[in-house]
Structure 1
């Protein structure tokens, strides 16, 4: 499997992310129908513990491996690539064994005391075997990403979801007669088997891929491990700050509902009302504005090795170009999502949730969350430039300011829950700007292309006007239901946006050519930009 360009790799991951988003949505629907709210609740109780343990086990190594392998490949140092893999596998093996044993031994205490429902014990036990599987998968994915071959990671995502969905109905239904906790455990087992199938694919590709390696992992394993002190230092120097950023985010999101509840109580809001308001904000509005994040995540995964390779070869112009390409894609993809969530907020939340009140929060968050789509590429750039610690500190500053803003704003009776929404917006803006200024400080001469921003802004305005007119016409003149009118409107508005970008030459033949499989065939029908 050959190396792809930065854009090709990003597009492959974006397509895989889109497919897995759809499959994941299908999986949640299936689970909800089989398990019901209580069963899903038991399932979800085990998930945060699992995510925390996996975060500690991975130790930020996928990012570190991706960066270091890209640098070693750029310098043609195959021995260093092998040493990176040997040390990484050793670290994750030790950590996964420790974390798995601790989780198994502490499952009863965790379920009874921390999760407050002893029935969560079985889902937690069922999901624990996934820890070493994900740990090894992360190392192999980091290796492929460092070689700038994104196909294995993309295919593994899809395989995991397909296997999971194929098994969840069978296992959950099979165990349901034993109780909801066992049915939830069955759903967890489907996740474990899905990850195992993805790992099997990754290992097979690693061993039998088209581009044969010039080394074997088992040969001289302990010799390379003994010589790996410097490699260990490099991995931890990048991996620990990346883990820190993830943990800061996790702790921040954990503390957020506590601070919001206390602040709303201080503002005189009744507990039941406060819970409902926070549900609208965090359970309804935020998941919608976060939907396009799979695009920026894909960009980030592809960007780390691309930036690292350019830095290793001292190709500073290439660093500029790749960061510009990433931010440009984030802008082009994030802009239409922002339009939909601002101008079609109430229809969207009505169709999706049956709760038009959530539209108010969606409109409040959406304009600021456009900046969030730039945050991941900027953070990936900092990591690729060996500034993972700076990215972590920026995240920490943002989390601290957000928590203080929640207390100050949400406790004011005149703001209430809207103060919490504003605090979240402040966090998004602050961290993104801190990342941007950190990047500009290191990459001399880098700046925003305001001409592109202006053109995308015009396309957004055209999309909003055309979409609003379309929705009104479909409902008033054709008397369509809101659901059908909204779906047709979004297709129409998306088409207008795309055509506007073509007319203003924001996208052109060069961009279409980079779409895997179909791009080269349809590109000749598009004008150059």
Structure 2
């Protein structure tokens, strides 16, 4: 602790943890899909829009505020101020977490009757309610460590949380499935409680373990900024309320989808069971796959808030622009090939993960939105670090209004059905991301370089897509003679992804899309790659 990390290194640490968490989560999804089916996953997912909405309110954007304010205090060497921000925030979060856990527990019946509208979702809502308190307190500790630009505690706690969740889910689903799908879904939902408890225990251990080092810093502290508790509280609230509104948008959209999408699918001629299954394909399958490529940009946004806050506190606009540009390059160099790859390999992906070919349809459409969602996430982190916390909220609300209208219209079209909801999501993130980019440019003076940030990676992604498509077909034809169908599909998919990655990187170097600064930012591997690129004259300007 207290060493600090470059924001790219911090992002990569969180990405590695996030990848592990997602892989384990994908294995769990495969298990749930095989044991509970589309309808069971639909019931399990129905608890999450209500849960995530209440969780967003209970955390109230305070963890991001903690990260920003702690980073600002540390930039001025004010360790006492950083600790005071954390303690005040922790008290607020504990109270809010307890309040909303009780609200979900005692209000589950109300939510089922008025929002979810499937009585079988009652037990999953009850089961997941304690997680609000635990996750809220957990988020305070993560925000504190992130303010020091130390991402390892967050990363380790995420891994512990997910492992605990998976074990509990598997045990409870097996035990409760004989009693019915709703009880199995409740057992799966309770896994979030167990996982959060274990993650919190780990962070408590790390926090108290480092108290000695913290006290040494306080004794050596020369700077004491004179802020009253009221001023600190005001800053926490002023930052957290807009962030809360922003974090509420997507859960609220999911709640709207929960009501609108099945209803409009009925209009398209689907039964309740069919509508629930389609909803499960969109939210439990396609959306969960989309979350994989988002790992890097979410991690990047988490690292950017304290990194940009530090640069701003030091009044170093050059550093702000440099970190912004590097973050945007990493975001697009990752999200563009991931988007193209998911579009081309949508059906093999859903067959391998879920043995569900129809889920490829919403996944292929959602793949287009990955670029815009990644851009929105990264630019929101930049704006939050700069203190412009309200702008991403306003832009997402605008996109959300459009999404609701489009979901209502498009989902009822029998030709589109669940694809209508997917397209509406893509368009909403397109609007929000473009507005975010415009604001970042306006505030920092940074300019979006179309050729460097879009044209070159798009060119590489087009070559990659062709290679991925051909290699998957050829590899499947080879493996199908030696393995079972699903193993052959999985082997061909893995080979195609690896080949696609190589093609994208090679073409990106050949078109001059990689700069020296990009390679320098990569920990450990950066300098060896830089020497190799210089030797073959592959670096762009």
- Superposed displacement of residue 378, structure 1: 0.6
Instruction: Determine if contact 2:42/2:284 at 8 Å carries over to the other structure.
Output: no
Q: Where does residue 271 of structure 1 map in the other structure?
A: 270
The 5-angstrom pairing of residues 56-67 of structure 1 reads 56-67=57-68
Deviation string 1:417-459 (CA, Å, 9 cap, x unpaired) is 6554443332121111111111111112433252343332232
Instruction: Determine if contact 1:78/1:214 at 8 Å carries over to the other structure.
Output: no
Moved more, 493-502 or 368-377: 493-502
Moved more, 89-98 or 281-290: 281-290
Normalising by the residue count of structure 1, what TM-score does the alignment of the two structures yield? 0.86
Q: Where does residue 221 of structure 2 map in the other structure?
A: none
Q: Where does residue 221 of structure 1 map in the other structure?
A: none
Instruction: Determine if contact 2:286/2:363 at 8 Å carries over to the other structure.
Output: yes
Q: Where does residue 525 of structure 2 map in the other structure?
A: 519
The alpha-carbon distance between structure 1 residues 451 and 129, as it changes in their structure 2 partners (threshold 3 A), is closer
CA–CA separation in structure 2 for the residues paired with 1:422 and 1:402: 9
CA–CA separation in structure 2 for the residues paired with 1:199 and 1:285: 30
CA–CA separation in structure 2 for the residues paired with 1:362 and 1:123: 26
- Superposed displacement of residue 359, structure 1: 4.1
Selected match of 1:495 from 491, 495, 502? 502
| Structure 2 gap segments, 5+ residues each | 219-224, 482-487
- Superposed displacement of residue 344, structure 1: 3.0
The 5-angstrom pairing of residues 415-430 of structure 1 reads 419-430=420-431
- Superposed displacement of residue 180, structure 1: 6.2
The alpha-carbon distance between structure 1 residues 405 and 314, as it changes in their structure 2 partners (threshold 3 A), is same
The alpha-carbon distance between structure 1 residues 449 and 307, as it changes in their structure 2 partners (threshold 3 A), is farther
| RMSD of aligned Cα (Å) | 3.5
Q: Where does residue 244 of structure 2 map in the other structure?
A: 243
CA–CA separation in structure 1 for the residues paired with 2:183 and 2:411: 40
The 5-angstrom pairing of residues 48-127 of structure 1 reads 48-107=49-108, 109-110=110-111, 115=116, 122-127=123-128
SS in 2 for 1:446: coil
- Superposed displacement of residue 357, structure 1: 4.8
CA–CA separation in structure 1 for the residues paired with 2:180 and 2:271: 30
The alpha-carbon distance between structure 1 residues 212 and 163, as it changes in their structure 2 partners (threshold 3 A), is same
CA–CA separation in structure 2 for the residues paired with 1:419 and 1:113: 24
- Superposed displacement of residue 179, structure 1: 6.8
CA–CA separation in structure 2 for the residues paired with 1:7 and 1:27: 29
CA–CA separation in structure 2 for the residues paired with 1:470 and 1:434: 38
SS in 1 for 2:213: coil
CA–CA separation in structure 2 for the residues paired with 1:98 and 1:128: 11
| Structure 1 gap segments, 5+ residues each | 218-223
The 5-angstrom pairing of residues 109-508 of structure 1 reads 109-110=110-111, 115=116, 122-173=123-174, 185-209=186-210, 212-214=213-215, 227-256=228-257, 258-260=259-261, 269-272=268-271, 275=275, 284-408=285-409, 419-448=420-449, 450-475=451-476, 481-504=488-511, 506-507=513-514
Instruction: Determine if contact 1:82/1:215 at 8 Å carries over to the other structure.
Output: no
The alpha-carbon distance between structure 1 residues 46 and 165, as it changes in their structure 2 partners (threshold 3 A), is same
- Superposed displacement of residue 353, structure 1: 4.3
SS in 1 for 2:27: helix
Instruction: Determine if contact 2:332/2:453 at 8 Å carries over to the other structure.
Output: no
Q: Where does residue 222 of structure 2 map in the other structure?
A: none
Normalising by the residue count of structure 2, what TM-score does the alignment of the two structures yield? 0.84
